Amino acid sequence: MGRKSSDITILGGASAIPESPDKAVLERVANPHADTVYVARFTAPEFTSLCPVTGQPDFAHLVIDYVPDDWLVESKSLKLYLASFRNHGAFHEDCTVAIGKRIAKLLDPSYLRIGGYWYPRGGMPIDVFWQTGKLPAGIWLPDQGVPPYRGRG
């Protein structure tokens, strides 16, 4: 976590999908507007992981909102980190919360929330929400825009 933005290793070159989330490198860059309070959002509508029991794929629509302080998550490293879950067996709750915690640890943002809107398995969707920090007063935080399950898509 003590790295500077000049320590970026992934951006600007070819990159393979990491074998697992533990092996994925998640990088950060300096926030050029650290003096401004704002929300940044990442949406991953095709997130995939594996059921740890059956090995079958699970699919989710992830929405990550955060209010950065000194650091921003570098988007290519985030994409590769999320893609590393494709061969990772974990329950919906574990995937969603682990992603939120890893980003929060890397960035130490004022506020971060993640919504994991999981497609049904066995007829029941499991939506998972986690947040950390306090939303600054007066900040506009839009709805995550994912409707309750009714044949999402």
Per-position DSSP letters for 11-67, written without gaps between them = TTS--PPPSSGGG----EEE-TTTTS---EEEEEEEEEEE-TTT--EEEEEEEEEEE
Domain assignment present for residue 82? The answer is: yes
Instruction: Determine the pLDDT at residue 150.
Output: 67
Contacts of 69 (CB under 8 A, 6+ apart): 31, 34, 107, 108, 109, 110
Instruction: Determine the pLDDT at residue 151.
Output: 62
Q: In CATH, what number is assigned to the domain containing residue 121? A: 3.30.1130.10
Average confidence score pLDDT of the chain: 91
Domain assignment present for residue 51? The answer is: yes
Smallest CA-to-CA distance from 117 within 102, 128, 131 is with 128
Per-residue pLDDT at 12 exceeds 90: no
Strands 127-133 and 28-30: unpaired
Domain assignment present for residue 122? The answer is: yes
Domain assignment present for residue 52? The answer is: yes
Domain count within the chain: 1
Domain assignment present for residue 60? The answer is: yes
Q: Stretch 133-149: mean pLDDT, rounded?
A: 93
pLDDT digits 0-9 by tens, 56-79: 999 999 999 999 999 999 999 999
pLDDT digits 0-9 by tens, 47-56: 999 999 999 9
Instruction: Determine the pLDDT at residue 123.
Output: 82
The range of the structural domain enclosing residue 54 comes to 42-127
Domain assignment present for residue 18? The answer is: no
Domain assignment present for residue 81? The answer is: yes
If one compares 146 and 3, the residue with the highest pLDDT of the two is: 146
pLDDT digits 0-9 by tens, 118-130: 999 888 889 999 9
Domain assignment present for residue 50? The answer is: yes
Per-residue pLDDT at 149 exceeds 90: no
Per-residue pLDDT at 1 exceeds 50: no
* Residues belonging to the active site: 51, 58
